[in-house]
């Protein structure tokens, strides 16, 4: 009997443990990043002028007066990666949290660094690719440390959080831009080349596609129909496109004829983003009941009306003309999409709770029809 119990425990431990190759990979990445951050951060703190790296302060284009604050941040990331390494090595319950924070912080560091330096260097690939690899092998660890139902609920909740986060930064960041008008200026102008809020916006907005991608994964896992799987794929594709946007120039530069290829690509990205939004909303509406379909149609009408109004005023930017309501029209469109994501996530959470499982075993249309029949009785 004792032998059987021991074997059963061994089997359960094996099921709840991370594959050896994933764990070794994660440990190597965390150690590699920790050493680099601690070493580099220490040198920047010791010599804020950047002389140990033969790097002038001017490369930061005025974002910081010297390398002291970046050095402190980098050293802190090194400490965080060290703590994550120890936690993963000891297989603690919080290893996935620390690993996610450490590697997520490193990803944020590289995004902001590239934005400040305004160029991509070879070192970004040398130190950045391991971060991406580490995040990939951390994802299965998250699932191992949480029950399937809890994990699914957390992923779907990320859809609500993503919209709330985007709305929040759209309120907070403009406050740091003196003279900026949320009514007449577009959200893209917050991250325009030369804008005082460019670095802050990039630093904060990167969490939006990460949260929304987690939601997309949750939608894909919830799929009781092919339609929901398609929605999950569209959401994740939308996040990949939105993780980096080619920046536009400030309207003064555009009016003076200083637009470049990046301004054209900005418009292309906006068109692709809109296409993914329409696709995910259309397939999402088809997967749920009649009430949600009518709500989605109403959202499409909002998109059409305020999209036309936004386009009509946006032409005034390059001509140097005032755009009295462009910012408001565009924000109404953005708000409509954010609200749609929240309502969609709430519907999926309700269906998960009513089914009592992590996946929706039957098509959602059948569940809602059965619920309506029950209410009539």
Average pLDDT over residues 48-60: 88
Report if residue 3 sits inside a domain. Answer: no
Q: Is 283 exposed, middle or buried (0-12, 13-18, 19+ CB in 10 A)?
A: buried
Any residues with CB less than 8 A from the CB of 22 and at least 6 apart, and which?
137, 140, 141
Q: Which of 86-90, 139-143, 224-228 has the highest mean pLDDT?
A: 86-90
Least confident of 51-60, 245-254, 284-293: 245-254
On whether both 117 and 22 belong to a single domain, the answer is yes
- d(Cα 75, Cα 42) in Å, to the nearest integer? 6
In this structure, the dihedral spanned by the alpha carbons of residues 315, 321, 327 and 333, taken in order and rounded to 10 degrees, is: -20
> Which pLDDT score is estimated for 17?
62
Write out the DSSP string of 287-319. Answer: HS-HHHHHHHHHHHHHHHHHHHHHHHHHHHHHT
Contact 365, 228 (CB under 8 A): no
Residue 119 pLDDT level (bands cut at 50, 70, 90): low
**Domain span at 51:** 15-145
CB 95 within 8 A of CB 33: no
What pLDDT is attached to residue 207?
83
Q: Is the domain of 158 the same as that of 281? A: yes
**180 has pLDDT over 90:** no
What are all long-range contacts of 142-149, with beta carbons under 8 Å and residues at least 24 apart? 142/96, 142/100, 144/16, 144/17, 144/18, 144/96, 145/93, 145/95, 145/96, 148/358, 149/352, 149/357, 149/358
Confidence at residue 345, expressed as pLDDT on a 0 to 100 scale: 93
Confidence of residue 13 (pLDDT cuts 50, 70, 90): very low
pLDDT average, residue stretch 59-70: 84
Q: Are residues 189 and 84 in the same domain?
A: no
| Segment 231-288, tens digit of pLDDT | 988 998 888 888 778 888 888 777 777 778 887 888 888 888 888 889 999 998 988 8
Q: Of 145, 164, 180, at which residue does a domain stop?
A: 145
Is pLDDT larger for residue 337 or for residue 145?
337
195 and 70 share a domain? no
- The more confident residue out of 131 and 144 is 131
- Give the chain's domain count: 2
Instruction: Report residue 223's pLDDT band, with 50, 70 and 90 as the boundaries.
Output: low
């Amino acid at each position: 009997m004792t032998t059987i119990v021991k074997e059963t425990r061994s089997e359960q431990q094996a099921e709840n443990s991370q594959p050896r190759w994933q764990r070794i990979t994660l440990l190597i990445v965390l150690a590699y990043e920790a050493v680099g951050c601690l070493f580099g951060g220490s040198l920047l703190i010791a010599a804020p002028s950047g002389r140990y790296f033969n790097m002038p302060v001017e490369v930061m284009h005025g974002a910081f007066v010297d390398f002291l604050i970046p050095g402190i941040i980098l050293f802190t990331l090194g400490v965080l990666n060290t703590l994550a390494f120890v936690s993963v090595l000891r297989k603690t319950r919080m290893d996935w949290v620390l690993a996610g924070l450490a590697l997520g912080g490193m990803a944020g560091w590289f995004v902001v660094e590239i934005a400040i330096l305004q160029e991509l260097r070879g070192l970004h690939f040398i130190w950045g690719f391991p971060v991406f690899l580490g995040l990939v092998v951390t994802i299965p660890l998250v699932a191992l440390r949480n029950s399937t139902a809890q994990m699914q609920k957390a992923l779907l909740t990320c859809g609500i959080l993503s919209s709330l986060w985007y709305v929040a930064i759209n309120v907070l960041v403009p406050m740091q831009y003196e003279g900026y008008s949320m009514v007449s200026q577009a959200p893209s102008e917050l991250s325009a080349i030369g804008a005082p809020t460019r670095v802050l916006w990039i630093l904060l907005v990167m969490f939006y596609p990460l949260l929304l991608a987690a939601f997309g994964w949750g939608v894909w896992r919830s799929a009781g129909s092919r339609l929901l799987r398609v929605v999950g794929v569209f959401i994740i594709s939308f996040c990949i496109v939105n993780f980096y946007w080619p920046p536009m120039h400030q309207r003064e530069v555009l009016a003076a004829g200083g637009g470049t290829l990046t301004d054209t690509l900005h418009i292309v990205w906006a068109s692709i983003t809109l296409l993914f939004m329409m696709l995910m909303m259309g397939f999402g509406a088809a997967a749920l009941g009649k009430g949600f379909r009518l709500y989605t149609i109403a959202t499409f009408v909002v998109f059409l009306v305020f999209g036309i109004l936004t386009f009509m005023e946006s032409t005034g930017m390059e001509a140097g003309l005032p755009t009295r309501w462009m910012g408001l029209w565009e924000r109404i469109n953005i708000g409509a999409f954010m609200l749609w994501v929240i309502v969609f996530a709430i519907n999926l959470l309700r269906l998960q709770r009513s089914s009592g499982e992590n996946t929706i075993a039957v098509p959602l249309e059948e569940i809602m029809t059965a619920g309506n029949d029950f209410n009539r009785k």
